[in-house]
Amino acid sequence: MQHTFASSEGPVEVTLARDGEAFVLEGQRLLQHNRGRLHLTLRDGRTCLAHAAKVGDVWWVHLNGRTYKWERIEPGSSGAEDEGGLVAPMPGKVLEVLVAQGDVVEAGTPLMVLEAMKMEHRIVAASDGKVVAVHYAAGDQVAQGAVLLDLE
Amino acid sequence: MANRGEIACRILRACKEAGHPTVAICAPNDAGSLFTEMADQVVMLKGETIAETYLDQQQIIQAALDTGATAIHPGFGFLSERAEFATAVQSAGLTWIGPSAMAIEKMGDKMTARQTMRAAGVPVIPGEEVEEVDEGMALEALRQAAERVGYPLLLKASSGGGGKGMRAVHDPADFDSAAAGARREAVAAFGDGRIYIERLLSGSKHVEIQVLADQHGRTVHLGERECSVQRRHQKVFEEAPGPTMTEALREAMGQAAVAAAEAVNYVGAGTVEFLLAPTGEFFFLEMNTRIQVEHPVTELVTGVDIVREQLRIANGEPMSCGPLMIRGHAIEVRLYAEDAASGFLPSIGPLAVFRPPEGPGIRLDTGVREGDDVTPNYDPMLAKLIVWAPSRPEALEKMRRALDEFVVLGTTTNIEFLRDLCDAGPVVAGSTTTTTIEELWPNGWNPPADAMLEEAALLAAASAETLGLHRVRTRISSDLTDGPASPFTTLNRRFP
């Protein structure tokens, strides 16, 4: 009952303990009721019902009005990290390319303007760097997750 | 029904209640959507883009004629405020459920509307209209007008709406790129790049008055809605009555709204939007010549079914509502498929779980159900959650409970943002303004951190994986290889 999940600070190893029918982790307990209903007892003694659904490798969990996403890393997968490229957050069309290869940019510099869902969205440099490659031109359609530019 | 999604469902239900048979139109990428199941007939449109489907006037009118429809309801957005469509519908011998083409034209062109209102004695926001069409000349004229109006200012598309073609400019250095961006967005969205400038009145409330006018010479107002809480110039939290409204101000604004409607011989349901300055002065913003997204809050506090009234009015009957009575308090929030923690960027994905709240005083207007996919093809609004309670504090309590109960898994939504908003000081106090969201979260909103709940969610994810909850029911359904999948076997199915 060991699983690995992805987090912003790297992979998280989870080892569930059993207590009768219940699963236990860090002082919190989960009991499955019938039909997949998950009943939780939190560390502070409160109880709540959780809803969970898996989409791709990601478990979406709703409890206490909050929704969390935990991506499961399948055993044996390489756990690929992002290569630092800037990716399209959704499918859309490139309206404008604001930088060229070789440009040195500061964090926060707008790099590209995308149109999706009838609105304009700016793709902004997350950190200081140099534009190594621009993969799309104005007018191009891009798919979600497409690498738009490479920064170094 | 010349629309889709949530508003199509709302109107098709009203038609069913009134005993009118209905025809829906549907783009190929909308096949199977909830609204298509609510109509008596569905006409599949040809084409892929919005322009080729829901904006194709010829095709829509032909669908009405082919099916023997007698009237067209445009809903909101799409063709609802296109005067030439209203004309084309009537020329085809069909009833247009809306105001006259002339009224739409005068109000739809925001620059003309400002001029008409000035003439009718309705106060408008200080600013200037620029009629230049040529790009270079328009930008130069705008630059000069901006100097006269003064900063901060708002650039708005004359054909605009919904925040498209709109830019706030605080620093003259940003003016050129903002003006070019606003023009480009306006040309793309409306085919009209004309822009006007308004002084940005910060600290103002957005208050709008619902009006109804029938063909028997009666024009009434149904009181106000306050819709100050906006992000990207789109409303997310609306309420009625306005938390700071007084009887005297309601009367004054109501009279101004009725005067605005009468100035264009308005017929049907419409909304006159005002900015209410901290001084108590109010200024005409624009008139929306259609049913409005946030109409349910007015319905809940006045008891008037605005869509039913639209149908009556279009049918030549007098409207049925009596003197204005406002009872209790209603709040609406707009659920968007968007990532509030990433600058409200729209999100897509499956609605693997979609479980709305229930209970007394709760209304849900939606066009989706569990199992649907949120695509980038249309507006990312998933649903409107509306609550009613005897008082404003109780309405807020009910909204908090309802949002906590709302489960959407598989697509990122703004539910937690809306829930956080219900606890924000200005919202609790009723002192919200159009800049409240930026003031509350100047560096963007992030969900409040809660390590205990996050770990509990991790426990749930790991337990669900161990229990194989994502497999249980899909295995059952894959065993039943013949015939359509039972709805029971597809619950909790794994996506994709």
Domain edges within chain A: 2-72, 85-151
Q: Do A55 and B494 touch (CB under 8 A)?
A: yes
CATH class of A85-151: mainly beta
For residue B484, pLDDT beyond 70: no
Contacts of B463 in chain A (CB under 8 A): 16, 23, 30, 32, 38
- The residue behind tokens 């019902």 is A49
- B86 or A108, higher pLDDT: B86
Do the beta carbons of residue B63 and residue B86 sit within 8 Å? no
Contact B462 A16 (CB under 8 A): yes
Is B459 within 8 Å of chain A by CB?
yes
Stretch A125-141: mean pLDDT, rounded? Answer: 87
- Asked whether the beta carbons of B330 and B387 are under 8 A apart, the reply is yes
Q: Least CB-CB distance to A68: which of B413, B454, B496?
A: B454
pLDDT at A152 over 70: yes
Number of inter-chain CB pairs under 8 A, A vs B: 172
pLDDT at position B438 over 60:
yes
Measure the CA–CA gap between B23 and B18, rounded to whole angstroms. 15
Closest partner residue to A55 (CB to CB) among B349, B378, B380 is B349
Residues 460-489 of B with CB under 8 A from A: 460-467, 469-470, 472
Residues of A in contact with B349 (CB under 8 A): 55
What domains sit in chain B, N to C, each tagged with a CATH number?
A: 5-97 (3.40.50.20), 126-199 (3.30.1490.20), 205-440 (3.30.470.20), 451-490 (no CATH)
CA distance B113 to B117: 6
Tokens for B61, please give them: 């009118």
Contact B75, B57 (CB under 8 A): no
Task: With cut-offs at 50, 70 and 90, classify the pLDDT of residue A118.
Answer: low
Of B201, B220, B364, the residue nearest B296 (C-alpha)? B364
Look up residue B9 and give its DSSP letter: H
Of A75-79, B20-24, B154-158, B485-489, the least confident: B485-489
pLDDT for B300 equals 98
DSSP A132-151: EEE---TT-EE-TT-EEEEE
Give the pLDDT score at A119: 66
Active-site choice (B82, B231, B290, B419): B290
The answer on pLDDT for B216 being more than 50 is yes
Q: What are phi and psi of A48, to 5 degrees?
A: -155, 165
Q: Is the pTM of this model over 0.90?
A: no
Residue A70 at interface with chain B, using a CB cutoff of 8 Å: yes
Mean confidence (pLDDT) of chain A: 86
* Three-class SS state of A33: coil
Report the residue of chain A nearest B457, measured CA to CA.
A61
If you measure CA to CA, which chain A residue comes closest to B399? Answer: A65
B395-421 burial: b if 16+ Cβ within 10 Å, else e: bbebbbbbbbebbbbbbbbbbbbbbbb
Amino acid at B180: A
pLDDT-derived band at A141, boundaries 50, 70, 90: confident
pLDDT at A85 over 70: no
pLDDT of residue B142: 93
Task: Give the three-class secondary structure for A113.
Answer: strand
CA distance linking residue B451 with residue B461, whole number of Å: 15
* Whether the predicted pLDDT of A122 surpasses 50: yes
Q: Which residues, numbered 88 to 147 in chain B, qualify as contacts with chain A under a Cβ-Cβ cut-off of 8 Å?
A: none
pLDDT for residue A81: 41
- For residue A6, give the chain B residue with the closest CA: B458
Q: Higher-confidence residue: A114 or B116?
A: B116
What would the mean pLDDT of B206-224 be, rounded to a whole number?
A: 97
Rounded Cα distance, B70 and B294, in Å = 27
pLDDT digits (tens, 9 = 90+) for A29-76: 999 988 778 999 999 999 999 999 999 999 999 999 999 999 999 876
For residue A3, what are the β-bridge partners? A14
B352 reaches A (C-beta below 8 A): yes
Q: Does residue A113 have a pLDDT over 90? A: no
Are the beta carbons of A90 and B181 separated by less than 8 Å? no
- Rounded distance between C-alpha atoms, residue B260 and residue B118, angstroms: 10
The residue type at B364: L
CA–CA separation, B54 vs A26, rounded Å?
A: 54
Cβ distance of A70 and B457 shorter than 8 Å: yes
Residues 90-119 of A with CB under 8 A from B: 90-92, 95, 115-119
Active site residue B218: no
Give CA–CA dist B160/B10, Å, rounded. Answer: 25
Burial class of residue A80 in the structure, from the number of CB atoms within 10 Å of its CB (0-12 exposed, 13-18 middle, 19+ buried):
exposed
Closest chain A residue to B164 measured between Cα atoms? A119
Which residues in A lie closer than 8 A to residue B181 (C-beta atoms)? 120
Residue B287 pLDDT > 70, yes or no? yes
Task: Please give the backbone phi and psi of residue B118, each rounded to the nearest 5 degrees, phi first.
Answer: -55, -45
Taking CA–CA distances from A116, the nearest residue in chain B reads: B376
What ipTM did this prediction achieve? 0.85
* pLDDT computed for residue A77 by the predictor: 58
CB contact under 8 A, B345 and A3: no
| Cα torsion angle, B225, B422, B10, B106, sign | positive
Do you find a cis peptide bond into B241, omega within 30 degrees of 0? yes
